[in-house]
């Protein structure tokens, strides 16, 4: 079963992180939602965080993992929020299991196909040889040759942990994720639909959801609401958490 962090009492609120992320990325917002009367479930998807690693990786499998988690924890009528890759999982989960989803929130991702754009990040991650026992700063120095953006590197470095004394490693499986990298950008299957209200949030500075995408989004989610979070890019929940939370709570209320 997927690893999770659970906090709070109330309506079940399941949050799914993005590619190369983990539940810890949502720790602050998760605690905030828990304080507002929700039982928050922060999940690590397969090959990420503290969840299991597997050479098999696809949206179908991730949706099945989340379904198993909900069934084993007796979660019904859930609020489901997914960011980026986690948003794609959330979309398909809701389309496959509409009876389990009470409210659907998608953060900065659309149902369309996205061309592979993580090549430099994958190259940088694969360039790190942990057997020579690099320090955290050594890892950052190597990554900087491939990933110039400081914020992106900090996001990736959050995955570092001490595998054993003196030996760092990443929590995600770069081997299995890089092998299956083409799965990440796949579009939501053409015939899939979720008919209840869905909130899509996009970052003002992000290009993941464009105005021209809305017509296609409505084919899958005819009752969508689209809001733009100001002063934020793809990591809109971290860059402008107050406005992000306000839109979420407005939708839930």
Q: Whole-model pTM?
A: 0.95
pLDDT category at 124 given cuts 50, 70, 90 is: very high
Whether 93 and 72 share a structural domain: yes
Whether 164 and 192 share a structural domain: no
Picking from 129, 163, 179, the residue at the C-terminal end of a domain is 179
Picking from 127, 160, 179, the residue at the C-terminal end of a domain is 179
Q: In this structure, what DSSP letter does residue 173 have? A: -
Q: What is the structure's pLDDT at 181?
A: 94
Q: What is the structure's pLDDT at 139?
A: 96
Statement: residue 117 has pLDDT above 90: no
- Average pLDDT score over residue span 218-230: 98
Statement: residue 116 has pLDDT above 90: no
Nearest to 229 by CA among 211, 250, 245, 212: 245
Whether 204 and 244 share a structural domain: yes
Whether 95 and 217 share a structural domain: yes
The answer to whether the CB of 114 falls within 8 A of the CB of 99 is: no
pLDDT category at 248 given cuts 50, 70, 90 is: very high
For 210-227, b/e burial (b = at least 16 CB within 10 A) is eeebeeebeebbeebebe
pLDDT tens for 26-63 read 999 999 999 999 999 999 999 999 999 999 999 999 99
* Domain coverage including residue 141: 119-179
Q: Residues 6 or more apart from 124 whose CB is under 8 A from it?
A: 142, 143, 145, 146, 147
What is the pLDDT of the chain when averaged over all its residues? 96
For 189-207, b/e burial (b = at least 16 CB within 10 A) is eeebebeeebbbbbbeebe
Whether 85 and 161 share a structural domain: no
CATH of the domain at 26: 3.40.50.1820
Whether 135 and 244 share a structural domain: no
Statement: residue 118 has pLDDT above 90: no
Whether 237 and 146 share a structural domain: no
Whether 135 and 194 share a structural domain: no
Whether 33 and 150 share a structural domain: no
Whether 152 and 83 share a structural domain: no
Whether 41 and 103 share a structural domain: yes
Whether 199 and 238 share a structural domain: yes
Nearest to 199 by CA among 80, 37, 30: 80
Beta strands 78-83 and 11-16: pairing type?
parallel
Exposure of 55 by Cβ count < 10 A (0-12 exposed, 13-18 middle, 19+ buried)?
Answer: exposed
Total tally of structural domains belonging to the chain: 2
- Average pLDDT score over residue span 186-215: 97
């Amino acid at each position: 079963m997927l690893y999770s962090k659970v906090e709070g009492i109330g309506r079940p609120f399941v949050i799914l992180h993005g590619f190369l992320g983990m539940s810890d990325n949502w720790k602050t917002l998760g605690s905030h939602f828990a304080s507002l009367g929700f039982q928050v479930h922060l999940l690590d998807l397969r090959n990420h965080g503290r969840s299991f690693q597997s050479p098999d990786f696809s949206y179908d499998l991730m949706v099945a993992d989340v379904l198993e988690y909900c069934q084993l924890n007796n979660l019904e009528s859930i609020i489901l929020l997914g960011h980026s890759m986690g948003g794609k999982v959330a979309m398909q989960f809701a389309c496959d299991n509409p009876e389990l989803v009470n409210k659907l929130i998608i953060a900065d991702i659309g149902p369309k196909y996205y061309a592979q754009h993580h090549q430099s990040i994958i190259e940088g991650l694969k360039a790190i040889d942990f057997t020579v026992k690099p320090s955290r700063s050594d890892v950052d120095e190597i990554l900087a040759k491939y990933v110039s953006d400081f914020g992106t590197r900090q996001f990736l470095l959050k995955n570092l942990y001490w595998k054993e004394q003196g030996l760092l490693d990443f929590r995600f499986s770069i081997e299995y994720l890089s092998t299956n990298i083409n799965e990440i950008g796949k579009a939501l299957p053409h015939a899939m639909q979720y008919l209840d209200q869905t909130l899509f949030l996009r970052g003002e500075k992000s290009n993941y959801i464009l105005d021209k995408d809305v017509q296609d989004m409505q084919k899958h989610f005819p009752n969508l609401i689209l809001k733009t979070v100001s002063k934020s890019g793809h990591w809109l929940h971290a860059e402008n958490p107050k406005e992000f939370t306000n839109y979420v709570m407005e939708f839930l209320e």
